[in-house]
């Protein structure tokens, strides 16, 4: 079976997610295009890189990503670092002829996102593939939702309501990691989780053309976490910890118009007590509706309103399984369920198919740049207190 050598840059949460996914991809998909060989892991913290190398059986650990880029044996680079380094690492990797899967959001600045899209388009001419880590559109229930929408059974899509609600930063003692600093994150909730909800909404309803928004920061300063992986609110720092001003948003609320003619709303917050990974989408059409929540990701609820009789109308629950998109990774019976690990393996599989097939996946760098432009319009709308067109 074909083998591809992997370099991973950034050995935190996403480094782990990519490596677990890559290991599982050929085990879950019988037609997996290749088997990964873990060549080099890079992290600026040497102990993190060394520990990761041991646990994932990499051949080598390093602290300078250029060692990954300059290694002629490496075919694929997974960019799993904080947002401010995505552009320099991804562009260097593409120029060196590596296929690149880069975590989202694409970059911290519009000019960097644009440069990444340009570098990806140039590299594509030589058969080099790149992709952003927007995996939620690849949940089997979301692909099933897309099939149902495209079949016309819901009629014309009128409204899309999407939400991404989390609570891990609701406690003011939850530390200020790189995610709360504009220079490293670019934005707060907006880039971190809002873009996932936006990506799903656009996948199902077309591109957003106009927005009006409210963007808020509730906790204006936090105790500082120095370096290392973001602990995502799992520790609380005491009153004696050094404090730093938060210069990114905690919450975003947006009304949208889509190029399909649909309208809708998208909101995201990391401050919603009681909500964990509450990523939801509800789609209304002239003949029916559907609704989905990541916290029960294997279930899609559909109401074929115009097909049902009065008195019998309501949502029916589909448990996704072997008969649904990417059924190969699910277990043999609907309801046995997949989780985050299998979802990232689906993403790795889609990336692998694109690499071997020589085409750009739907979550290309160009798509990442488009999401970034919607985010720019959202920030501009909040500032101007007016509707803004996506440029």
Task: Enumerate binding residues for ligand NAD (CB under 6 A).
Answer: 9-14, 42-45, 48, 65, 80-83, 85, 103-104, 133, 135, 192, 228-230
- Which of 308, 297, 380 has the alpha carbon at shortest distance from 339? 297
Shortest distance in whole angstroms from residue 45 CB to ligand NAD: 5
Nearer to ligand NAD by Cβ, of 56 and 65: the residue is 65
Shortest distance in whole angstroms from residue 229 CB to ligand NAD: 4
Strands 35-42 and 60-62: parallel
Question: Of all residues in this chain, which one has the CB nearest to ligand NAD in the complex?
Answer: 12
Nearer to ligand NAD by Cβ, of 12 and 26: the residue is 12
Shortest distance in whole angstroms from residue 366 CB to ligand NAD: 18
SS3 content of the chain, % helix, strand, coil (to 5): 35, 25, 40
Nearer to ligand NAD by Cβ, of 56 and 304: the residue is 56
Q: Are 83 and 112 in contact (CB under 8 A)?
A: no
Shortest distance in whole angstroms from residue 344 CB to ligand NAD: 8
Shortest distance in whole angstroms from residue 52 CB to ligand NAD: 9
Nearer to ligand NAD by Cβ, of 187 and 262: the residue is 187
Reading the block at residue 44, the tokens are 């600026």
Shortest distance in whole angstroms from residue 175 CB to ligand NAD: 12
Nearer to ligand NAD by Cβ, of 225 and 289: the residue is 225
Nearer to ligand NAD by Cβ, of 110 and 159: the residue is 110
β strands within the chain, DSSP E: 3-9, 35-42, 60-62, 76-79, 99-102, 130-132, 157-165, 208-216, 221-223, 243-245, 251-258, 263-269, 278-285, 289-293, 299-303, 316-319, 388-389
Q: Are 159 and 266 in contact (CB under 8 A)?
A: no
DSSP per-residue codes, 97-142: T-EEEEPSS--SSHHHHHHHHHHHHHHHTTT--EEE--GGGGSHHH
- Report d(CA 38, CA 18) in Å as an integer: 11
């Amino acid at each position: 079976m074909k083998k591809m050598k992997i370099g991973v840059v950034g050995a935190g949460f996403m480094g782990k997610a990519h490596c677990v996914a890559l290991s599982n991809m050929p085990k879950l998909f019988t037609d997996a295009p290749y088997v990964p060989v873990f060549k080099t892991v890079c992290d600026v913290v040497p102990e993190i890189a060394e520990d990761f190398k041991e646990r994932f059986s990499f051949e080598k650990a390093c602290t300078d990503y250029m060692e990954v880029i300059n290694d002629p044996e490496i075919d694929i680079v997974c960019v799993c670092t904080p947002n401010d380094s995505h552009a320099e690492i991804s562009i260097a990797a593409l120029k060196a002829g590596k296929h690149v899967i880069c975590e989202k959001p694409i970059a911290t600045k519009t000019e960097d996102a644009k440069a990444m899209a340009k570098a990806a388009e140039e590299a594509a001419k030589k058969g080099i593939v790149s992709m952003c880590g927007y995996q939620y559109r690849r949940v089997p229930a979301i692909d099933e939702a897309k099939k149902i929408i495209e079949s016309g059974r819901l009629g014309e899509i009128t409204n899309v309501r999407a939400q991404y609600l989390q609570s891990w930063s609701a406690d003011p003692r939850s530390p200020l990691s790189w995610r709360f600093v504009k220079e490293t994150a670019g934005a707060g909730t907006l880039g971190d989780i809002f873009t996932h909800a936006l990506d799903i909404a656009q996948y199902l309803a077309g591109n957003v053309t106009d927005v009006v928004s409210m963007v808020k920061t509730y906790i204006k300063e936090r105790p500082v976490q120095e370096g290392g992986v973001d602990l995502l609110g799992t520790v609380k720092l005491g009153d004696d910890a050094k404090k730093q001003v938060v210069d990114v948003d905690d919450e975003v609320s947006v009304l949208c118009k889509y190029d399909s003619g649909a309208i809708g709303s998208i909101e995201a917050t990391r401050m919603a007590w009681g909500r964990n990974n509450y990523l939801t989408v509800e789609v209304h059409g002239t003949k029916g509706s559907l609704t989905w929540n990541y916290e029960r990701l294997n279930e899609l609820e559909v109401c074929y309103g115009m097909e049902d009789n009065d008195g019998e109308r309501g949502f029916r629950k589909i448990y996704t399984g072997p008969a649904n998109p990417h059924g190969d990774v699910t277990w043999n019976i609907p309801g046995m369920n997949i989780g985050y690990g299998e979802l990232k393996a689906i993403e790795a599989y889609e990336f692998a198919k694109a690499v071997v097939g020589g085409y750009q996946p739907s979550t290309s760098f160009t798509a990442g740049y488009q999401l970034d432009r919607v985010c720019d319009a959202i920030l501009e709308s909040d500032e101007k207190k007016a509707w803004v067109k996506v440029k």
